[in-house]
């Protein structure tokens, strides 16, 4: 359960707000020496982020997501926000030709990416695969009905969505430059004062090689968002093969020859996140896919 | 995706889908590139020496960052200069008469006063354009052009610079080169070096012919070639240092056609004023070190430069600034920045405040321009800045500048002992800048 508190500290011309959400360290940077403003931003943004977390966290029994999953096979009432998110997921399903599917969440029953060699058998995967498939879901503005044993998981879009909502909030509250970073998925309201870019560091995925200095990449961000897909922390390793945690929703297996991680820059965080995930789903073609889309990205293999 | 027809559409489709999700009516163009907007910095500066030169300067600088971190910088500077400047002659216990550089008139200087020529009224327009772009990971190339024009002077220049980053951009090496070609067409033409200044009546029928006898040509040129090697290093979270070495070679007409040197007798009385003459080349080198240190809130910037050239001029410059943020004390995000600078230079080998008649023969180069003589200069200033509308910066700067030329061991003779040969020059500088 996330501890719902934040800390504010001042550094030179900015304030830094730190808190935890969505199982990640989160940070808001505001380029202002006004502590009152920092407090206001902290309160409103953290409240919004925790709200989204509580609503769509599949690990939380009280969340809307859990309620929908529990009642699989039955109709569940949904609100406008959930409908919009489902619509968005639908678009992603179509654009990725079925590779991106938020109903693939139940594959976690056989895939636990706990950094061990615990990979499931083909039979186990096929069994679970029967409960996967966006086409088996029906929804409209008011209700959603999953097929029996199905589950949906907003994990692939929830954090990025929370970043974008936070930026919209920040823009309503202040004109001062703000950066919102939820566990590495981040966005800014505008460039820093005097048109200086935000200097953002991206972590190298191979953190287990502790003896080598981890190479941080510094990205200059003037506006827009940055999201990283692929995760160094959650994976399986067996027979020297690294199984990234992005699963092909059609086959039930991890995408082969996918890059370790992809970072994408786009006007909104959710757009960046989806492009990064879609790229990973291309496996070997990840970089080509992003190059064809004319998208700015960094890939680590 | 196998279907290539879909490819370009995915990004666009996602943009639409995102807008629908977030309820935003449009998506911004920006990514790591800057939005289509120009960053404008404007400044107005006023410089005034007590009883001497006054200058006003307006600068507009426009910068735009394109995709892939390409930057275009355009700068327009307009200067106007008025007032009077020392012509190089020494003060005398009697009234003196000098001819204007154009030859069209004379001016008189009161006894005991340092001779100043007040012919200087000029306006100069300068244009600078610079293009910077990354050419490979960690390699940045910058090139640019320069043009400046005033009534009697034209300068054209180009430059190029390559910067290479190392160690996650904690270290940067840079190598730069620039070339300038200047053409000088002073009013009255280029005087024959070391020839006597013609004093008389310019309404005289023989004047024009006699005056042109003292002229060498109507214009001349000079070229400047500079090389710069630099190294910047981030020491730690609080400190960054920079080191530069530069080499500059100037060739051509380096003499100041408006400056003269007084030829005096053994009693210090001026017999003649001759036009100065400087070598036709000058090679300058300099070593520069700068350090910027971030305290909790204040930032200290200290630099030192040592310069030396083949005219025997060597100089030391120590410059320091301390930026003190004031929070929102007097306006949003305001700061105050005191400034202190100390400068000292030794005289050029051919610098003389005056020359005795008996020493004139055999002289090849001579100048009495105090600016290449031995001198110490101090600057003390204060700058105040604040944000307007939360994002535009406005700042005010006021500085006091004092130049103290000294004799460098040369003893005055005769009446010159009772006159001020090395007058101190005081100046006040005021500047307002606005960035938006």
| B287 and B431 assigned to the same domain | yes
Nearest to A286 by CA among A256, A266, A265: A256
pLDDT digits (tens, 9 = 90+) for A62-97: 899 999 988 888 999 999 899 999 999 999 998 888
| B108 and B186 assigned to the same domain | yes
Q: Is the pLDDT of residue A211 over 70?
A: no
Q: Is the pLDDT of residue B333 over 50?
A: yes
| A292 and A249 assigned to the same domain | yes
| A102 and A245 assigned to the same domain | no
Domain carrying residue B167: 38-435
Paired strand residues for B82? B54
Q: What is the mean pLDDT of chain B?
A: 88
Range 83-142 of A in CB contact (< 8 A) with B: 84-85, 87-88, 91-92, 95-97
**Local confidence band at A225 (pLDDT 50, 70, 90 cut-offs):** very high
| A210 and A229 assigned to the same domain | yes
DSSP 3-state of B369: coil
**Local confidence band at A203 (pLDDT 50, 70, 90 cut-offs):** low
Cβ-count burial of B272 within 10 angstroms (0-12 exposed, 13-18 middle, 19+ buried)? Answer: middle
| B71 and B22 assigned to the same domain | no
| A21 and A130 assigned to the same domain | no
| B23 and B117 assigned to the same domain | no
| A211 and A282 assigned to the same domain | yes
DSSP 3-state of B332: strand
A235 touches chain B (CB under 8 A): no
In a domain, A119, yes or no: no
Q: How big is the A-B interface in CB pairs under 8 Å?
A: 122
| A100 and A233 assigned to the same domain | no
| A45 and A171 assigned to the same domain | yes
**Local confidence band at B2 (pLDDT 50, 70, 90 cut-offs):** very low
Residues of B in contact with A95 (CB under 8 A): 6, 10, 13-14
Question: What is the pLDDT at residue A235?
Answer: 66
Q: How many angstroms separate the CA of residue B331 from the nearest CA in chain A?
A: 12
Question: What is the pLDDT at residue B287?
Answer: 97
Domain carrying residue A54: 1-58+157-193
CATH number of the domain enclosing B163: 2.40.160
Q: Is the pLDDT of residue A256 over 70?
A: yes
| B20 and B78 assigned to the same domain | no
| B80 and B110 assigned to the same domain | yes
Cα-Cα-Cα-Cα dihedral sign, residues A49, A55, A56, A62: positive
Per the structure, how many domains does chain B have? 2
| B23 and B125 assigned to the same domain | no
| B24 and B43 assigned to the same domain | no
CA distance A163 to A268: 9
Q: Is the pLDDT of residue A210 over 70?
A: no
In chain B, which residue's Cα lies nearest the Cα of A90?
B17
Question: What is the pLDDT at residue A148?
Answer: 87
φ, ψ for residue A149, nearest 5 deg: 70, 5
CATH number of the domain enclosing A279: 3.10.520.10
pLDDT digits (tens, 9 = 90+) for B44-76: 999 999 888 899 999 999 998 887 778 899 999
Cβ neighbors of B261 (< 8 A, separation 6 or more) are B88, B89, B273, B274, B275, B276, B352, B354, B355, B366, B367, B368
- Contact of A10 with A35, CB cutoff 8 Å: yes
Give the mean model confidence (pLDDT) for residues A38-45.
92
| A180 and A45 assigned to the same domain | yes
| A210 and A301 assigned to the same domain | yes
| A69 and A145 assigned to the same domain | yes
**Local confidence band at A253 (pLDDT 50, 70, 90 cut-offs):** confident
| B67 and B10 assigned to the same domain | no
Cβ neighbors of B230 (< 8 A, separation 6 or more) are B172, B173, B174, B175, B176, B242, B243, B244, B245
pLDDT digits (tens, 9 = 90+) for B7-33: 557 888 888 888 888 876 544 433 444
H/E element, A122: helix A122-129
Residues of B in contact with A218 (CB under 8 A): 168-169
In a domain, A300, yes or no: yes
pLDDT digits (tens, 9 = 90+) for B91-149: 999 999 998 888 888 889 998 899 998 877 789 999 999 999 988 878 999 999 999 99
| B305 and B418 assigned to the same domain | yes
Give the mean model confidence (pLDDT) for residues B355-377.
91
CA distance A301 to A299: 7
Q: Look at A116-130, A211-225, A244-258, B164-178 and tell me which has the smallest mean pLDDT.
A: A211-225
Residues of A in contact with B34 (CB under 8 A): 191, 195, 222-223
The interface predicted TM-score (ipTM) is 0.83
Find the CB nearest B65 among A165, A222, A282. Answer: A222
Number of residues in chain B: 436
**Local confidence band at A258 (pLDDT 50, 70, 90 cut-offs):** confident
Contact A265 B14 (CB under 8 A): no
| A50 and A173 assigned to the same domain | yes
A191 touches chain B (CB under 8 A): yes
Nearest to B354 by CA among B264, B256, B259: B264
In chain A, which residue's Cα lies nearest the Cα of B32?
A221
Q: How many angstroms separate the CA of residue B74 from the nearest CA in chain A?
A: 16
Find the CB nearest B333 among A33, A215, A296. Answer: A33
Residues of B in contact with A268 (CB under 8 A): 18, 22, 24, 27
Give the mean model confidence (pLDDT) for residues B253-279.
92
Give me B244's structure tokens: 């530069």
């Amino acid at each position: 359960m996330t501890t719902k508190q934040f800390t504010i500290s001042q550094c030179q011309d900015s304030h830094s707000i730190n808190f935890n959400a969505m199982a990640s360290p989160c940070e808001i940077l505001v380029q202002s020496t006004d502590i009152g403003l920092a407090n206001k931003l902290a309160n409103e943004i953290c409240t919004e982020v925790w709200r989204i977390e509580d609503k769509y966290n599949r690990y939380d029994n009280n969340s809307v997501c859990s309620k929908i999953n529990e009642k699989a096979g039955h109709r569940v009432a949904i609100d406008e926000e959930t409908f919009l998110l489902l619509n968005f997921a639908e678009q992603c399903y179509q654009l990725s030709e079925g590779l991106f599917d938020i109903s693939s969440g139940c594959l976690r029953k056989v895939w636990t990416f706990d950094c061990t060699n615990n990979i499931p058998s083909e039979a186990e995967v096929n069994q679970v695969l029967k409960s996967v498939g966006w086409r088996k879901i029906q929804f409209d503005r008011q209700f959603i009905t999953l097929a029996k044993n199905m589950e949906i998981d907003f994990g692939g879009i929830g954090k990025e969505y929370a970043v974008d909502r936070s930026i919209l909030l920040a823009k309503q509250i202040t004109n001062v430059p703000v950066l919102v970073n939820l566990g590495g998925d981040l966005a800014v309201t505008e460039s820093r004062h005097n048109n200086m870019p935000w200097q953002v560091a991206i972590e190298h995925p191979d953190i287990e090689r502790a003896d080598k200095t981890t190479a941080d990449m510094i990205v200059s961000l003037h506006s827009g968002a940055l999201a990283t897909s692929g995760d160094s922390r959650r994976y399986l390793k067996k027979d020297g093969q690294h199984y990234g945690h992005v699963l092909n929703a059609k086959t039930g297996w991890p995408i082969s020859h996918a890059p370790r991680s992809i970072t994408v820059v786009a006007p909104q965080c959710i757009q960046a996140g989806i492009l990064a995930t879609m790229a990973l789903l291309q496996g070997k073609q990840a970089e080509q896919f992003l190059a064809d889309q004319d998208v700015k990205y960094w890939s680590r293999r | 995706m196998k279907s290539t027809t879909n490819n370009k559409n995915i990004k666009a489709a996602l943009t639409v889908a995102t807008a629908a999700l977030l309820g935003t009516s449009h998506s911004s163009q920006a990514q790591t590139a800057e939005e289509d907007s120009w960053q404008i910095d404007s400044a107005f500066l006023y410089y005034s020496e007590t009883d001497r030169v006054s200058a006003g300067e307006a600068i507009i600088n426009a910068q735009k960052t394109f995709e892939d971190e390409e930057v275009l910088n355009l700068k327009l500077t307009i200067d106007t200069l008025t007032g009077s400047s020392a012509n190089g002659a020494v003060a005398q216990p009697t009234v003196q008469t000098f001819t204007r550089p154009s030859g069209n008139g004379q001016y008189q200087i009161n006894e005991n006063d340092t001779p100043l020529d007040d012919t200087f009224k000029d306006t100069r327009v300068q244009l600078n354009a610079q293009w910077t772009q990354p050419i490979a990971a960690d390699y940045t190339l910058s090139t640019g052009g320069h043009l400046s024009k005033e009534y009697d002077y034209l300068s054209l220049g180009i430059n190029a610079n390559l910067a290479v980053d190392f160690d996650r951009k904690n270290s940067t090496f840079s190598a730069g080169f620039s070339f300038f070609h200047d053409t000088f067409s002073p009013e009255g033409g280029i005087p024959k070096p070391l020839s006597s200044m013609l004093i008389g009546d310019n309404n005289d029928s023989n004047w024009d012919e006699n005056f042109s006898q003292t002229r060498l040509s109507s214009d001349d040129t000079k070229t400047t070639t500079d090389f710069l090697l630099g190294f910047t290093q981030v020491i730690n979270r609080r400190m960054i240092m920079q080191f530069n070495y530069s080499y500059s070679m100037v060739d051509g007409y380096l003499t100041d056609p408006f400056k003269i040197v007084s030829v005096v007798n053994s009693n210090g009385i001026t017999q003649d004023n001759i036009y100065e003459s400087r070598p036709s080349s000058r090679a300058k080198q300099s070593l520069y070190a700068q350090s910027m240190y971030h305290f909790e809130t204040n930032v200290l910037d200290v630099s030192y430069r040592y310069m030396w050239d083949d005219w025997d001029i060597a100089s030391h410059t120590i410059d320091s600034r301390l930026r003190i943020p004031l929070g929102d004390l007097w306006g949003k995000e305001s700061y105050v920045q005191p400034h202190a600078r100390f400068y000292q230079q030794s005289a050029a080998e051919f610098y003389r405040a005056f020359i005795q008649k008996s020493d004139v023969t055999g002289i090849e180069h001579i100048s009495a321009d105090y600016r290449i003589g031995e001198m110490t200069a101090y600057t003390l200033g204060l700058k105040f800045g604040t944000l307007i509308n939360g994002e535009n910066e406005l700042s005010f700067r006021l500085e006091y500048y004092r130049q103290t030329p000294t004799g460098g061991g040369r003893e005055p003779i005769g009446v010159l002992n009772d006159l001020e040969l090395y007058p101190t020059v005081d100046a006040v500088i005021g500047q307002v800048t606005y960035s938006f």
